[in-house]
């Protein structure tokens, strides 16, 4: 598919670009996208750290695990240089509950925009808008009712692009909570047991307790069975609170759960892409090296030295998705899950464990994290057409936020 767009920007001269589908079999396209990615630092600026993303030679790795996906590139009219790229996927997600007792789970088909990059020399010339417009056209053709995108709240040009020029509305403001992986294991909280669930039990639990959470993917079974999903783990006050052993499955737990519990799954981003911190002052690098040296020297006696792994070279992360639970002790049980995930990440060679939670999610209090490593996201949403009818949902763009949000690891 090819479409020629004359993309105009209010501040600068317009630029003629050709927007077409990325050709994964073309060495030219792969090399051009790789150069473009390397030219674009991702993350907040203005004195803060920036992250560079290395896609490990697979430009489609961020979307290829979704049910339907597309990658577009923009070529400059003068010479055919690739000056922009965007990825998108379409899936069906939960958009809330309705009914007298919230018994009706509502789903909507949505398109997700990610990986939008424009060459620094071609910014503010309408290239990004041309890419977004063409991707939205594909969303509509695929039957999507809404499009949404996640950006950093501190990235003002990106926020202006979507809210002022592309018609998106600010929707949700989750936070990425990240924690470095130390050289030593972290001790679990007392009175907490972590049980590994098989994919069937994990699916039953998620569908029974999370199917009404915003952005919960209807194809959760495909997510849980993906090779990058490293397992689902349930934290309970005592191992006896999980009656699913011996082939009983999740049904007894769902019929009579303990007063408090927490669950999460782990996604191996390390085998999909690598990150690298750029722009850190020499003092920060020296402090990180000193913390690792202290950890090596003192860890036999002080097992909790907060060492900083080497994040100034490419590193991998493990992402915790589906983090949720119930009961007054759920935050502490979430801590047990995070520490369990930390220890597994250390053995696997990942240097950061991260998750993303809604602003008012009560489990945030139990997630250990370093503010410097995280980010404050802004999710923007757009209704693609008025012809679908409001039905039981109404206009999702105007719905108030819930206590939690489900972050699909295929889009992280």
> pLDDT at position 246, please?
61
What percentage of residues in the chain have a pLDDT greater than 70? Answer: 87
Q: What confidence tens digit (pLDDT) does each residue in 52-86 have? A: 677 777 889 889 999 999 999 999 876 689 999 99
Given a cut of 60, whether residue 95 has pLDDT beyond it is: yes
Secondary element (H or E) of residue 16: strand 15-21
Structure token digits, residue 356? 């993303």
Q: Are 189 and 339 in contact (CB under 8 A)?
A: yes
> pLDDT at position 283, please?
78
Task: For each of the domains in the chain, give its residue range(s) and CATH number, in order of start.
Answer: 2-174+377-393 (3.40.630.30), 177-276+289-374 (3.40.630)
- Cα angle 184, 55, 274 (rounded to 5 degrees) comes to 15
Given a cut of 90, whether residue 233 has pLDDT beyond it is: yes
> pLDDT at position 188, please?
87
243 contact partners, CB below 8 Å, separation of at least 6 = 252, 253, 256
Q: What confidence tens digit (pLDDT) does each residue in 270-317 have? A: 998 888 887 777 877 887 888 878 777 766 555 566 778 888 888 999
Q: Where does the pLDDT of residue 146 fall: very low under 50, low under 70, confident under 90, or very high at 90 and above?
A: very high
More confident residue, 22 or 276: 22
> pLDDT at position 358, please?
95
Average pLDDT for 338-361: 96
- E strands, 173-273, where? 175-180, 193-197, 229-236, 261-268
> pLDDT at position 93, please?
97
Of 265, 312, 272, 354, the C-alpha closest to 87 is 272
Q: Where does the pLDDT of residue 158 fall: very low under 50, low under 70, confident under 90, or very high at 90 and above?
A: very high
Given a cut of 70, whether residue 99 has pLDDT beyond it is: no
Given a cut of 50, whether residue 8 has pLDDT beyond it is: no
Q: How far is CA 211 from the centre of its chain?
A: 18
Given a cut of 70, whether residue 387 has pLDDT beyond it is: no
Q: Where does the pLDDT of residue 44 fall: very low under 50, low under 70, confident under 90, or very high at 90 and above?
A: very low
Q: What confidence tens digit (pLDDT) does each residue in 175-197 have? A: 999 999 998 889 888 899 999 99
DSSP lists the bridge partners of residue 234 as 195, 263
Confidence (pTM): 0.89
Q: Are 405 and 224 in contact (CB under 8 A)?
A: no
- E strands, 220-337, where? 229-236, 261-268, 274-278, 317-326
Given a cut of 70, whether residue 389 has pLDDT beyond it is: no
> pLDDT at position 110, please?
97
What percentage of residues in the chain have a pLDDT greater than 90? Answer: 59
More confident residue, 257 or 304: 257
Average pLDDT for 205-232: 96
Structure token digits, residue 125? 């010339």
Given a cut of 80, whether residue 219 has pLDDT beyond it is: yes
Coil, strand or helix at 51: strand
> pLDDT at position 245, please?
63
Coil, strand or helix at 69: strand
Q: Where does the pLDDT of residue 138 fall: very low under 50, low under 70, confident under 90, or very high at 90 and above?
A: very high
């Amino acid at each position: 598919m090819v479409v020629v767009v004359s993309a105009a920007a209010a501040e600068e001269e317009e630029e003629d670009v050709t927007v077409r589908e990325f050709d994964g079999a073309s060495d030219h396209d792969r090399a051009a996208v790789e150069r473009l990615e390397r030219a674009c630092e991702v993350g907040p600026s203005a004195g803060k750290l920036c992250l560079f993303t290395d896609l490990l030679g697979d430009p489609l790795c961020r979307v290829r695990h979704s049910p339907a996906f597309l990658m577009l590139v923009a070529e400059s009219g003068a010479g055919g240089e690739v000056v922009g790229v965007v990825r998108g996927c379409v899936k069906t997600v939960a958009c809330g509950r309705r009914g007298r007792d919230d018994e009706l789970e509502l789903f909507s088909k949505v398109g997700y925009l990610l990986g939008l990059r424009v060459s620094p020399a071609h910014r503010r010339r309408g290239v990004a808008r041309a890419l977004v417009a063409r991707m939205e056209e594909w969303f509509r053709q695929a039957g999507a009712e809404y499009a949404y995108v996640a950006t950093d709240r501190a990235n003002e040009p990106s926020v202006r692009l979507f809210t002022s020029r592309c018609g998106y509305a600010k929707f949700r403001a989750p936070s990425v909570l990240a924690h470095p992986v130390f050289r030593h294991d972290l001790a679990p909280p007392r009175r907490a047991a972590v049980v590994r669930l098989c994919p069937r039990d994990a699916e039953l639990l998620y569908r029974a307790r999370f199917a009404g959470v915003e952005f919960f993917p209807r194809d959760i079974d495909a997510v849980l069975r993906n090779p990058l999903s490293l397992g689902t783990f349930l934290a309970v006050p005592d191992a006896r609170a999980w009656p699913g052993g011996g082939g009983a499955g999740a049904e007894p737990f769902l019929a009579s759960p303990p007063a408090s519990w927490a669950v999460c799954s782990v996604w191996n981003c390390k085998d999909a892409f690598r990150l690298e911190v750029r722009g850190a002052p020499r003092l920060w690098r020296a402090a990180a090296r000193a913390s690792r040296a202290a950890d090596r020297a003192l860890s036999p006696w002080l097992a909790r030295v907060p060492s900083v792994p080497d994040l100034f070279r490419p590193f991998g992360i493990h992402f915790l998705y589906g983090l949720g639970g119930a009961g007054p002790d759920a935050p502490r049980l979430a801590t047990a899950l995070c520490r369990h995930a930390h220890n597994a990440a250390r053995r696997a060679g990942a240097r950061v464990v991260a998750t993303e939670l809604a602003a008012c999610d009560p489990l945030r209090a139990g997630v250990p994290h370093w503010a410097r490593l995280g980010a404050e996201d802004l999710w923007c949403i757009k209704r693609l057409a008025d012809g679908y009818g409001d039905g039981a949902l109404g206009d999702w763009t105007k719905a108030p936020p819930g206590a939690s949000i489900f972050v699909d690891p295929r889009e992280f």
